[in-house]
Amino acid sequence: MKEKILSQIITECPWRDTLYWYDALDSTNTKAKELAKNGAPHGTTIIAGQQIGGRGRMGRTFVSPTGGMYLSVILRPNCSPDAIMHLTCAAAVAACQAVESVCGIQANIKWTNDLVFQKKKLGGILTELGFGNDGTVTYAVIGIGINCNQKKDDFPAEIQRIVTSVSEITGTPCSPAMLAAACVEELYRMDAILLSEKNAIIDSYRRHCITLGKEIQIISGEDCRYGKALSVNENGGLLVAFADGTIQTVTSGEVSVRGMYGYL
Ligand code: BTN
C-alpha cells in the first residue's frame, strides 16, 4: 500500500521520504504525536487502513473502519500559536481540494472542521499542537479522516443518518491510497503558503463553509444559545449574531455548532 501511495505523490514533495503506512493503528494522530515528541521531522506522514481508537474534536470518537482514509502529518512551525490559528481551516480547504481532484465531487465544510456533502458528514479534521517552554509551537499534527468506501452498516446506528462516503455519493469505489496521496500533496502546498497567504486561505475557507448565513445552535457543555452565523474571521473564528442582539466571535475550542434542526 505504501508503494501505491508513493507512486501518486509528485517526486518533488520531500514528505515522501518520511511517509509511514500501517494496516491498523489506534489513531494516526496519537502515533504522529508520539513521533513528534521523539523528534520526527517536518512533513512526517502517518497513514492507516483503519483506526481502532480514531479521535475527533472535543474528545469524540471518529469511527474509522477499513475502507476509509486516515492520515496525519507533523508540521514544525516554530511560531507562536496565534500565527497558526487558521491551521484547521487551511487543512479543511486542502482536504476539500484533495476530494475534488480524486473523486470529482465538491465537498464543503461545516464550521469548523467537518467535511460535508449534501448535509451529511464525509470526514473531519483534528489538529493538535505541542508547545515548548517558551510557548512556541514545536509541533502541529494535522489529522484528516475521509469516508471512502464505507456503507451505512459500517457505522453505529446512531450516526448512520448523518454520515456518507464517497462511494455512496458517486456510486463507484474510491481509492483511499489515491486520496491519501492527494491529501499529502495538498497539505504540502498549503504548508508552503500557510503564513504568507493567510487571507487567501481564509477566503477559500469561507467559500467552502456551508455554516455561513445559517441559523445555528452554539452548544457549550450544557449551555445552548441560538444565533446566525455571519462570517469567519482571519483566525478561523465564527462571527455569530445572537438572538439577544449581541455579535460575538466563537472559537472552535469552546463550542460545538449544530443547525437549528439537526446536524447541519
Ligand atoms: C472530527 O470529526 O471531529 C475530526 C475527525 C478527525 C479524524 C482524523 S482520522 C486521522 C486522524 N486520527 C485521528 O484519530 N483523528 C484524525
DSSP states of 102-122 as a string? HH----EEETTTEEEETTEEE
Q: Torsion angle, CA of 154/157/160/166, rounded to 10 degrees?
A: 0
Q: Whose CA is nearest to atom 15 of ligand 1?
A: 55
Compare 145 and 253 and report the one with higher pLDDT.
Answer: 145
Contact 8, 182 (CB under 8 A): yes
DSSP β-ladder status, 256-259 and 215-220: antiparallel
176 lines ligand 1 (CB under 6 A): no
The pLDDT of residue 261 is 58
The conformation of residue 55, written as its DSSP 8-state character, comes to B
What CATH number was assigned to the domain covering residues 2-208? 3.30.930.10
56 lines ligand 1 (CB under 6 A): yes
Average pLDDT (45-66) is: 96
57 lines ligand 1 (CB under 6 A): yes
Gap from CA of 125 to ligand 1 centroid (Å): 5
Gap from CA of 26 to ligand 1 centroid (Å): 11
Q: Yes or no: is domain 215-259 CATH 2.30.30.100? A: yes
Q: Bridge-partner residues for 115, per DSSP?
A: 109, 123
Which among 33, 70, 255 is the best mutation to test ligand 1's pocket, defined by most ligand atoms within 8 Å of the CB?
Answer: 70
Threshold 0.75, pTM exceeds: yes
The pLDDT of residue 256 is 75
Residue spans in the chain of domains classed CATH 3.30.930.10? 2-208
Closest CA to 117 of 180, 59, 168, 179: 168
Q: How far apart are CA 168 and CA 57, in angstroms?
A: 25
55 lines ligand 1 (CB under 6 A): yes
- pLDDT classification of 252: cutoffs 50, 70, 90: confident
Gap from CA of 225 to ligand 1 centroid (Å): 26
Residue spans in the chain of domains classed CATH 2.30.30.100? 215-259
Percent of the chain scored above 90 by pLDDT? 89
State the closest ligand 1 atom to the C-alpha of 71, by its place in the atom list counted from 1. Answer: 10
The pLDDT of residue 242 is 93
The conformation of residue 135, written as its DSSP 8-state character, comes to S
Which helix (H) or strand (E) covers residue 69, if one does? Answer: strand 69-75
The pLDDT of residue 262 is 66
